[in-house]
Structures are given as structure tokens and as C-alpha cells.
Amino acid sequence: MNKSKFILLFICLPLLYSCNSSESETATSSEQSLNDYRNYVSEFEQDSLSEVEMRALEQAEEDNSRWETEKTNLQETYNERRAVVEQNLEELDEQQRAEVNDLDQRYNRALQQRERQYAEAGRRSMLRRDLLGLEVKNPDMSDVTAENIASVYDRFIATLAQNTAQYEQRDWNQIEGWWNSLNNRFQTLEDELDPSAKNSIEQAQNRYREIRENSNIAGR
């Protein structure tokens, strides 16, 4: 009798171990998928556009399709990560499932924030190109030369005067920064300019002050 019990126990033990091992592996797999998804969402929330990426967007000649391409790539990666969690969803407890739903919402909010960043970069890009021209790309205006600086001033003021009523406060903040950079560049090149260019630039500077006063920019 004892021998029979021993034999039965010997047979059942591997089966019990196999079942427990399978359950443990399932639990580990589901928890790992949740942990991976949690890390992915957290990293995505912090992975905003860098200054280099923002400048690249602002300087691109054609950036209308950039966000759609980026969004497609992001969505493909997200779908892959989310599918793994979905496969293991039944193995998660109620609290873990609630966390998955929260992570879904966090990802969507971060994606919307990324989209706003692209839209803002695109808006600045168009504004800068309108005011300075496509050929002026460097933030320090180092690509403005003694030969073209007068025409850059003329373009800036003509565009500004034409579109003043359309600009919002955030636009004026950018405009002020670019204008100051352009004036700094003028000071660097001033000794190389002929009287005609200096006179043209002086008129542009006077016109800018008039536009500022008429638009009540300082009070916005």
C-alpha cells in the first residue's frame, strides 16, 4: 500500500510541478508585458521634441507631411507594444487592468502634446520664412550678409506691415526675437555697408517702431 502511494506520488509530482511552472510563467509574462508597456509610455511622455528637432522643422522647406509621417511611425510602435499587453490582459488582476487603461490615456495625452509641438514648430517656420525668407536659416542670422541685409530688412517690414492684424502674442514674441537678432547682425556688418544700404535699414527700423506703437505690442 505504501509502495503504491509512493509510486502515485512519484507520477503526480512532475505533473504538479509542470502546472505550477506554467502558471508562474504565464504570470511572469503578463507582468512583464505590463512593465514593458508602462516603461514605453513613461519614456514617450518625456520624449518631447528636442531643440535640434524643432530647429530642423522650422528650417525645412516642406514640413507639411512631417507630422503625419511621424504619427504613423509612432502609432505602429504603439500598436505593437499595446498588442502584447492585450494578449496577456486576461491574466492581469483588476488593479493591473485599471493601470493599463490609465496608461492608454497617458499615451494619448502625450501624443496630443507631440502634435501640438509639431503644429507650433510649423507655425514658427512659416512665420520666419515669411519675414526673413527661406535663405535665412541660422538663428544668429550669420547667413545675412552685407550684400543682402538691406533686402532682408525690406522684406521683414513689408511682410510685417501687411500681416500685423493677424499676429497673436506668441507671434510677436518670435518677431521681436528675430528683429533683435537682425539688428545685432546689422551692427556686425555696419562698417561694410554703403550709405544707401544704411539709409534703407534706418528707414526700416523707424517703420518697425511705428508698427509697434500702432499695434500696442508692448501692452498685449
Q: pLDDT by residue (tens digit) across 16-42? A: 444 444 444 445 788 899 999 999 999
Whole-angstrom Cα distance, residue 124 to residue 166? Answer: 14
Give residue for cell 499615451: 107
| Other Cβ atoms closer than 10 A to 83 | 10
At 193, phi and psi to the nearest 5? -90, 145
Same structural domain, 212 and 139: yes
Same structural domain, 142 and 207: yes
Same structural domain, 60 and 115: yes
Asked, for residue 158, whether it belongs to a domain, the answer is yes
Give Cα 90 distance to the centre of its chain: 35
Provide the pLDDT for residue 158: 97
Asked, for residue 202, whether it belongs to a domain, the answer is yes
User: Which of 86, 101, 122 is the last residue in one of the domains?
Assistant: 122
Same structural domain, 140 and 118: no
Whole-angstrom Cα distance, residue 153 to residue 186? Answer: 10
Asked, for residue 64, whether it belongs to a domain, the answer is yes
Q: What is the dihedral of CA 119, 124, 125, 127, to 10 degrees?
A: 130
Same structural domain, 65 and 150: no
- The per-residue pLDDT for range 162-182, each reduced to its tens digit, is 999 999 999 999 999 999 999
Q: Tell me the average pLDDT across 117-128.
A: 87
Asked, for residue 130, whether it belongs to a domain, the answer is no
User: Which of 122, 151, 185 is the last residue in one of the domains?
Assistant: 122
Share of the chain above pLDDT 70, in %: 77
Asked, for residue 21, whether it belongs to a domain, the answer is no
**pTM to 2 decimal places:** 0.69
- The per-residue pLDDT for range 72-109, each reduced to its tens digit, is 998 999 999 999 999 988 889 999 999 999 999 999 99
Same structural domain, 43 and 95: yes
C-alpha distances in Å from residue 75, one per residue of 8, 78, 142, 207: 54, 5, 39, 48
| Structural domain span for residue 185 | 135-219
Q: For the chain, how many structural domains are there in total?
A: 2
Provide the pLDDT for residue 118: 84
